[in-house]
């Protein structure tokens, strides 16, 4: 698609793209006009569903006495495994699952008497008010013949195995002979890293409002990162055609991966609505959020790193052990980033899983790359200290000029500039090369840094642009804005592409009646949707140019279409910009009230492959081989921590992130993305952990009072900068995503700073005071 117009060439003039435009949806949000999925309360006859979940982690439901609940005022229906309407297709059936665009686990609760995890739904009460439903649910007497659960891979009862596949990656992968490279390496480092279970905990919990507008027409207002994937999956599970299901998500209060999937409650709400013949709203409680939409699994990784005496990597052997559910071989693929981050000649990776009485874990901000970066970036830090090198120096020494996993050049990579800029902004040169040497009163002061990277995932989607003669425009794509700024950046792109001010553009998203596009996840939305909209606007221009050159009254009459360009809403000759006219004039004479353009935008290696179809499971290696480029965003984090050696507390005192991610559409929303990711990572580094009781396999801290996320007082002023990058291979806009990369490397940066402060390496997250004190008891 070499003749496809590119943003770089056709719109070089400065516009609103790249400007720190404030959120176009900000006013609606702060005034409460932004309607979230649990706020469609005006639906006629709306009633409420409440889930009753299992107290125990394993067993069989022997009986559910619903009589007391049934007698409560307002109760319309009570569903258990005995009377829940059957699904047309169910995740329990592997053949059925193939029809799902989005299914997070091979299990659907309440389809049988089986209880496989604490918090599993075992009954659902529907009542006229939320209070009636909640109270009736407390009156259900659920009897479960409890069995002894397995709490995690650490449970002595757990047995581990090497799966054939995890998330499309083989259980064992080898590139070169990493074992031999490690064995013969002059410098050998072996370390094991532990990660606690983490939960996404978006502010907005999972919520689904289901409205059957007709027996064959279902509208669902859902908290989903992908309306289209949810539409297809719901249709399959409910036995409807795709077009018979409409999914709406106008606003999302955070997703972080947990809203990327059709979880049980998303299906239960329409089942209940159908049965009672009224719209049903189902909102997860905060405790249910902990067992309703997945989590990041607890895990440990052992990294064996071999290097030369000069510090050049020779080979890495990586093993990960983690907990999975009774039905799925699921693990975050930590190995990906370890394999590609440096010029690494040989790599081997093995995944070990142990099945436990938990639901399947799921995508959580930068799945795989986030924990993987902790292991590789702490080990690189170890290598630097062991050899007396600066941590940046050891990374530059192993700088990957091309992708070692496939030999391809990068579509763009500005990591060296990120290191340099970050070091400058942070004042890295003031770092004492020795650890454990810097004090501020009683506090130990440490500097740490780490590399970040996140791949460009292939993604394709459509958009429609309608330009009116009065200069206003409506732009549409069935994308979702997770709260990250999609409304705003796409408004900016459309404004520039149409040559109209951003206040003239209304961007509509979050609805399956709009042009179909993929989910917002894996940092694909900005690159894909911006490209779709940009290209759709080009189609508008092509139509207008055609109209102008054929219009005898136009100054452009008779010109070759290829010689005409659009500049700030004006059609003019490329060679003679004075000759031209405003697009409104053309439309007026042609009696066109509006002109519409549609286009498919492509992100990643599919960009240059017009025949390719979008598929989240598409083999990235094959696509990249065809494209000839490896595509990743890169960046770096620097931080200063203060460690209290007597009280064990770690506080982050300064933070600098520098990212290179192609064209930055809006430095304000981009900065918010980066600080959000870094704060998410600081939480994982220092405080976030969900604990399952080792005997009962039930979470002991499933609420936001005891599952600690950072508060404002934990976070210093953060400095964020971007390296300008021109990437003509990644998509028409040269945009790479920044949502995921911003968390990658964060935990390592903090741990490396703690090492610099204390001389002790903490390899178990979160680094809570107990672990810090324990480490400080050990010799440096």
Partner 1 sequence: MNDFSYTQAASAKEATGRLKDQAQAAYIAGGTTLLDLMKANLQEHPQLVDINLLPFKGIEQTKDGLRIGALERMSVVGEHPLVVQAFPAISQSLLLAASPQLRNMASIGGNILQRTRCGYFRDAAFPCNKRVPGSGCPAQTGDNHNLAILGVSDSCIANSYPGDLSVALAAFDAVLTLENAKGKQRRVPLTEFYLLPGTTPQKETVLEPGELIVAVTIPTAAHTQRSTYLKVRERSSYAYALASAAVGLDVQAGTIRAARVALGGVGAQPWRSREAEQALVGQPATDATFRAAAAAALRGAQPREHNRYKVELAQNTLVRALQQVAAG
Q: Which stretch binds partner 1 (CB under 8 A): 171-179, 433-441, 597-605, 703-711?
A: 703-711
- Structure-token pair, residue 445: 């002061």
Of 687, 718, 741, 765, the one binding partner 1 by CB under 8 A: 687
Q: Minimum CB separation from partner 1 for residue 201, in Å?
A: 14
Which helix (H) or strand (E) covers residue 448, if one does? strand 443-455
Residue 764 touching partner 1 (CB under 8 A): no
Ranges within 585-604 binding partner 1 (CB under 8 A): none
By beta-carbon proximity to partner 1, the closer residue of 479 and 697 is 697
Output the smallest distance, CB 292 to partner 1, in A: 15
Binding of partner 1 by 563 (CB under 8 A):
no
Name which of 38, 82, 370, 431 is nearest 202 in CA terms.
38
Give the Cα separation of 473 and 501 in Å (integer): 10
Q: What b-and-e string marks burial along 529-553, b requiring 16 or more CB atoms within 10 Å of the CB?
A: bbbbbbbbbbbbbbbbbebbbebee
Q: Is 118 in the site for partner 1 (CB under 8 A)?
A: yes
Q: Which of residues 52-91 bind partner 1 (CB under 8 A)?
A: 55-56
- Could you give the CA distance from residue 296 to residue 369 in angstroms, rounded to a whole number? 12
| Nearest distance in Å: CB 344, partner 1 | 36
Q: What CA–CA distances, in Å, run from 205 to 234, 267, 328, 557? A: 19, 16, 24, 58
Footprint on residues 731-760 left by partner 1 (CB under 8 A): none
Contacts of residue 764, defined as CB under 8 A and 6 or more positions apart, other chains included, come to 193, 194, 195, 771
Comparing CB distances to partner 1, the nearer of 352 and 708 is 708
Conformation bin of residue 464: beta by default, left when phi > 0, alpha when psi is -120 to 50: beta
Does residue 283 touch partner 1 according to CB under 8 A? no
State the SS3 of 221-258.
EECCCCHHHHHHHHHHHHCCCHHHEEEECCCCCCCCCH
Of 356-364, 528-536, 544-552, 689-697, the segment contacting partner 1 by CB under 8 A is: 689-697
- Nearest residue (CB) to partner 1, 452 versus 652: 652
| Cβ atoms of 674 and 744 closer than 8 Å | no
The binder of partner 1 chosen from 18, 74, 254, 287 (CB under 8 A): 287
Task: Give whichever of 676 and 710 is closer to partner 1, judged by the CB atom.
Answer: 710
User: Does residue 773 interact with partner 1 by CB under 8 A?
Assistant: yes
Query: d(Cα 293, Cα 444) in Å, to the nearest integer?
Result: 39
Binding window for partner 1 (CB under 8 A); candidates: 396-404, 491-499, 516-524, 698-706 = 698-706
- Supply angle C-alpha 416, 419, 421, rounded to 5: 105
Regarding beta strands 764-765 and 564-567, do their DSSP bridges make them parallel or antiparallel, or are they unpaired? unpaired
Q: Does position 769 bind partner 1 by CB under 8 A?
A: yes
* Binds partner 1 (CB under 8 A): choice among 12, 13, 241, 705: 705
Least distance in angstroms from the C-beta of 701 to partner 1: 5
Alpha helix segments (H runs only) across 707-780:
746-758, 769-777
740 as an active site residue: the answer is yes
Catalytic annotation, pick one of 39, 646, 740, 774: 740
How many of the chain's residues bind partner 1 (CB under 8 A)?
Answer: 40
Distance CA 451, CA 749 (A): 8
CB of 753 vs partner 1, minimal distance in Å: 17
**Residue pointed to by tokens 């650890």:** 435
Give alpha helix (H) positions in 639-777. 667-686, 746-758, 769-777
- With CB under 8 A as the contact rule, which of the stretches 44-52, 263-271, 511-519, 693-701 interacts with partner 1? 693-701
* Shortest reach from residue 687's CB to partner 1, in Å: 5
- In whole angstroms, the minimum distance from the beta carbon of 740 to partner 1 comes to 24
Q: Rule CB under 8 A: is residue 710 a binding residue for partner 1?
A: yes
User: Which of 196, 493, 559, 696 is in the footprint of partner 1 by CB under 8 A?
Assistant: 696
135 counts as binding partner 1 under rule CB under 8 A: yes
CA distance 183 to 36: 56
Copy the structure tokens of residue 230: 């949810």
Nearer to partner 1, 144 or 189 (CB): 144
- Report if residue 142 touches partner 1, rule: CB under 8 A: no
Q: 602 to 661, contacts with partner 1 by CB under 8 A? A: 646-649, 651
Structure tokens that stand for 74 in this block: 């307002």
CB closer to partner 1 out of 119 and 662: 119
Binding of residue 693 to partner 1 (CB under 8 A): yes
Round to whole Å and give the CA distance between 516 and 247.
11
- State the binding string over 450-469 for partner 1 (x if CB under 8 A, else -): --------------------
Residue among 137 and 236 whose Cβ is closer to partner 1: 137
d(CA 375, CA 681): 14
**Is residue 702 a contact residue for partner 1 (CB under 8 A)?**
yes
72/48 Cα distance (integer angstroms) = 14
List 591, 712, 717, 778, residue binding partner 1 (CB under 8 A) = 712
Nearer to partner 1, 17 or 718 (CB): 718
Collect all residues with Cβ–Cβ distance below 8 Å to 41 and sequence separation of at least 6. Answer: 281
SS3 716: coil
Report the nearest approach of partner 1 to the CB of residue 64 (Å). Answer: 16
- Write the CB contacts of 282 (distance below 8 Å, at least 6 apart in sequence): 48, 49, 50, 51, 124, 207, 208, 209, 210, 265, 268, 269, 272
**CA 722 to mean position of chain CA atoms:** 20
Question: Which of 713, 717, 778, 779 forms a contact with partner 1 (CB under 8 A)?
Answer: 713
The residue behind tokens 């140019």 is 545
Q: Which is nearer to partner 1, 91 or 645 (CB)?
A: 645
Residue 770 CB, shortest distance to partner 1, in Å, is: 4
Phi-psi region of 683 (alpha: psi -120 to 50; beta: other; left: phi over 0): alpha
Q: Does 424 bind partner 1 (CB under 8 A)?
A: no
* Rounded least distance, CB 169 to partner 1, Å: 32
Among candidate residues 228, 238, 375, 207, the one with its CA nearest the CA of residue 301: 375
Q: Which is nearer to partner 1, 83 or 695 (CB)?
A: 695
Rounded Cα gap, residues 125 and 110, in angstroms: 13
Using CA atoms, how far residue 741 sits from 341, 408, 452, 595, in Å, is 13, 21, 6, 38
Nearer to partner 1, 240 or 696 (CB): 696
Whose tokens are 């290829």? That residue is 562
Residue 192 found at the interface with partner 1 (CB under 8 A): no
By C-beta, is 124 or 505 nearer to partner 1? Answer: 124
Regarding 555 and contact with partner 1 (CB under 8 A), the answer is: no
Q: Which of 32, 717, 770, 779 binds partner 1 (CB under 8 A)?
A: 770
Supply the DSSP symbol for 35.
P
Find the shortest distance in angstroms from Cβ 435 to partner 1: 22
Under the criterion CB under 8 A, does residue 774 sit at the interface with partner 1? yes
Show which residues are catalytic. Answer: 740
Binding site for partner 1 (CB under 8 A): 55-56, 118, 131, 134-135, 138, 287, 646-649, 651, 686-687, 691, 693-696, 698-703, 705-706, 708, 710-714, 766, 768-770, 773-774
């Amino acid at each position: 698609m070499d003749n496809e117009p590119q943003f770089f060439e056709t719109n070089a003039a400065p516009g609103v793209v790249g400007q720190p435009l404030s959120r176009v949806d900000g006013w609606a949000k702060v005034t409460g006009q932004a309607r979230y999925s649990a706020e469609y309360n005006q639906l006629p006859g709306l009633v409420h569903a409440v889930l009753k979940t299992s107290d125990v982690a394993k067993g069989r439901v022997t009986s559910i006495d619903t009589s007391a609940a049934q007698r409560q005022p307002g109760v319309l229906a009570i569903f258990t495994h005995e009377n829940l309407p059957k699904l047309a297709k169910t995740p329990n059936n592997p053949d059925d699952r193939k029809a799902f665009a989005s299914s997070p686990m091979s299990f659907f609760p309440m389809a049988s008497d089986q209880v496989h995890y604490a918090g599993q739904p075992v009954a659902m009460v529907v009542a006229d008010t939320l209070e009636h439903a909640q109270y009736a649910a407390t009156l259900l007497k659920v009897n479960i013949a409890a069995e002894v659960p397995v709490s995690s891979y650490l449970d002595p009862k757990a047995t581990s195995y090497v799966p054939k596949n995890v998330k499309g990656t083989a259980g064992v992968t080898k590139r070169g002979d990493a074992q031999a490279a490690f064995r013969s390496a002059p410098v050998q480092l072996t370390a094991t890293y532990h990660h606690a279970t983490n939960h996404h905990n978006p502010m907005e919990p999972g919520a689904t409002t289901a409205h059957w507008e007709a027996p064959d027409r279902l509208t669902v207002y859902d908290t989903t990162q992908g309306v289209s994937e949810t539409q297809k999956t719901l249709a399959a599970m409910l036995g409807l055609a795709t077009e018979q299901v409409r999914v709406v998500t106008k606003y999302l209060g955070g997703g972080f991966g947990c809203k990327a999937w059709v979880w049980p409650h998303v299906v239960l709400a329409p089942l209940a609505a159908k049965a009672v013949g009224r719209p049903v709203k189902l909102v997860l409680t905060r405790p249910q959020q902990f067992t309703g939409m997945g989590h990041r699994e607890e895990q440990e990784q052992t990294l064996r790193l071999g290097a030369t005496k000069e510090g050049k990597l020779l080979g890495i052997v990586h093993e990960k052990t983690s907990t999975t559910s009774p039905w799925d071989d699921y693990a975050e693929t930590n190995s990906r980033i370890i394999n590609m981050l440096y010029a690494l000649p040989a790599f081997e990776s093995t995944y070990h899983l142990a099945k436990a009485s938990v639901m399947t874990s799921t995508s959580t901000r930068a799945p795989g790359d986030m924990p993987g970066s902790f292991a590789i970036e702490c080990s690189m830090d170890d290598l630097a200290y062991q050899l007396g090198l600066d941590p940046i120096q050891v990374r530059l020494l192993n700088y990957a000029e091309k992708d070692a996993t496939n030999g391809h050049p990068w579509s763009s990579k500005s990591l060296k500039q990120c290191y340099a800029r970050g070091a400058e902004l942070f004042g890295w040169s003031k770092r004492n090369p020795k650890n454990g040497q810097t004090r501020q009163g009683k506090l130990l002061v440490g500097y740490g840094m780490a590399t970040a990277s996140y791949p460009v995932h292939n993604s394709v989607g459509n958009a429609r642009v309608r330009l009116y003669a009065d200069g206003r425009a409506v732009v549409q794509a069935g994308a979702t804005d997770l709260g990250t700024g999609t409304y705003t950046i796409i408004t900016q792109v459309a404004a520039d592409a149409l040559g109209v001010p951003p206040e003239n553009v209304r961007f509509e998203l979050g609805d399956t009646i709009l042009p179909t596009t993929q989910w917002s996840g894996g940092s694909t939305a900005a690159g894909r949707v911006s490209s779709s909209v940009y290209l759709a606007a080009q189609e508008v221009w092509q139509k207008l140019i055609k109209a102008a050159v054929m219009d005898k009254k136009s100054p452009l009459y008779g010109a070759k279409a290829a010689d005409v360009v659009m500049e700030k809403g004006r059609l003019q000759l490329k060679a003679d910009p004075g000759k031209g006219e405003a697009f409104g004039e053309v439309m007026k004479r042609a009696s066109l009230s509006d002109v519409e353009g549609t286009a498919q935008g492509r992100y990643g290696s599919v960009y240059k492959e017009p025949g390719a179809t979008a598929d989240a499971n598409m083999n990235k290696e094959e696509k990249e081989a065809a494209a000839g480029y490896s595509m990743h965003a890169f960046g770096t984090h620097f931080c200063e921590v203060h460690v209290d050696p007597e009280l064990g507390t770690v506080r982050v005192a300064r933070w600098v992130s520098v990212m290179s991610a192609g064209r930055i559409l809006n430095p304000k929303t981009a900065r918010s993305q980066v600080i959000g990711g870094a704060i998410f990572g600081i939480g994982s580094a220092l405080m976030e952990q969900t604990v399952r009781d080792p005997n009962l396999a039930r979470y002991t801290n499933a609420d936001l009072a005891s599952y600690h996320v950072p508060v404002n007082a934990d976070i210093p002023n953060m400095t964020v900068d971007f390296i300008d990058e021109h990437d003509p291979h990644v998509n028409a806009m040269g945009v790479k995503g920044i949502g995921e990369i911003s968390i990658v490397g964060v935990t390592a940066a903090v741990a490396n700073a703690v090492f610099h402060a204390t001389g002790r390496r903490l390899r178990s997250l979160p680094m809570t005071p107990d672990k810090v004190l324990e480490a400080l008891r050990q010799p440096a």
